[in-house]
Amino acid sequence: MSTKIRIISYQEAISEALYQSMQNDKNVFVIGLGVADYKGIFGTTTDIYKKFGDKRVIEVPASENALTGICAGAALKGKKPIIVHARNDFMFLTLDQMFNIASKWKYTCAGKSKVPFVIRAVIGKGWGQGPTHSQSIQSIFMHFPGLYVFMPSNAYDAKAAIITSLKQDCPCVIFEHRRLYDAIGDVPNNMYTMDIGKARIVRKGKDLTVIATSIMVKEAIKAAKCLEKKGISIEIIDPRTLVPLDEETIIRSVKKTGRVIIADTGWVRCGVTAEIAAVISEKAIGYMKAPVKRVGLPECPAPVTSAYEDQYYPSYKDIFVQTCKMLGKKIDKDILCTKEVDDFIGPY
């Protein structure tokens, strides 16, 4: 099969991964609220519905807990379900099935019986979606053993996450940020996988390390472009998977720069940034030249109006300001307001 590289979008990469996986394995099916809708979960399920129909792309009523139990049973029988949640907030209704049954199954059965299935969950800022439809709940899933947690930040990893997850013997959750669906990147047209638990060094630098997840990787790249104008070089680490977490790559970078900013799409308290900061404090505290800084959501639910959203959600400007403060540099606000930086969507 050809391995030609093309520039396609995050959404197209997911669509292709689903199409190829279903064509390659008749046990794979996609199920969820909206998967057969004409919008097709931001276009990611449109092609597979046209190709495979409603026997393998299954529209369901809003009964998320029951749906998860059905898919766990299907996985036990050799099927490979892919559950899609157009908003990750609906996953709160599935937590009993996920945490008390699916994640623990192989442990309670001494590894003789497994429940492998995939969940796609859309996170983050929408268009005035409000406090119950704009959350990023990935840190909750990090807490329970028996699950893999993916956070693809680019089109290449979005495709790889789908294909790789289908090969695992445990439940896998893939968190996709709705603001990334239009981001473009280099994506091979063949089926390929990723190394689970292997971070990517997005950009090398010497002055400070930024560990960023999901869309915050794009924001970190924007910040790096601004900081270059001040002669500041930041290294950007994308963990790619939160469970397992590539602590080795993170610690190696921290030892090199001695300064760290951790940026995530969720709240900072008991969140992804807190866990990574704890790892750094346990394994690299002697190399730190300044305290760790964290960038995430403020301690309140998401607002609805766009004006408040602009204040609520973190961006490259927060990373820029924190970097300048940590390095004792002047905060040049004129550097931040450039169309080139604001319009950046990739590839990266």
Dihedral-angle region of residue 192 (phi above 0 means left; psi in -120 to 50 means alpha; beta otherwise) = beta
Question: In which band, very low, low, confident or very high, does the pLDDT at 37 lie, cut at 50, 70 and 90?
Answer: very high
Architecture field, domain 200-342: 3-Layer(aba) Sandwich (3.40)
From the list 85, 133, 143, 177, the catalytic residue is: 133
pTM: 0.95
pLDDT over threshold 70, residue 345: no
Domain 200-342 in the same topology as domain 5-188: yes
The stretch 50-68 carries a mean pLDDT of 95
Question: In which band, very low, low, confident or very high, does the pLDDT at 111 lie, cut at 50, 70 and 90?
Answer: confident
| 305, 128 contact by CB (below 8 A) | yes
What is the average pLDDT value for the chain, to the nearest integer?
93
Question: In which band, very low, low, confident or very high, does the pLDDT at 274 lie, cut at 50, 70 and 90?
Answer: very high
pLDDT over threshold 90, residue 310: no
pLDDT over threshold 70, residue 3: no
Q: Catalytic residue at 177?
A: no
pLDDT at 343: 65
| 107, 95 contact by CB (below 8 A) | no
| Residues 6+ away with beta carbon under 8 Å from 52 | 22
Q: Which residue has the higher pLDDT, 112 or 168?
A: 168
DSSP string, 291-342: --EEEEE-SS---SSHHHHHHHS--HHHHHHHHHHHHT----HHHH--HHHH
- What's the topology of domain 5-188? Rossmann fold (3.40.50)
pLDDT over threshold 90, residue 294: yes
Task: Please list, residue by residue across 100-130, b when 16 or more beta carbons sit within 10 angstroms of its beta carbon and e when fewer do.
Answer: ebbbbbbeeeeeeebbbbbbbbbbbbbeebe
Q: What is the pLDDT of residues 193-240, one digit of tens each?
A: 999 999 999 999 999 999 999 999 999 999 999 999 999 999 999 999
Domain boundaries defined on the chain: 5-188, 200-342
DSSP state of 181: T
The stretch 124-139 carries a mean pLDDT of 86
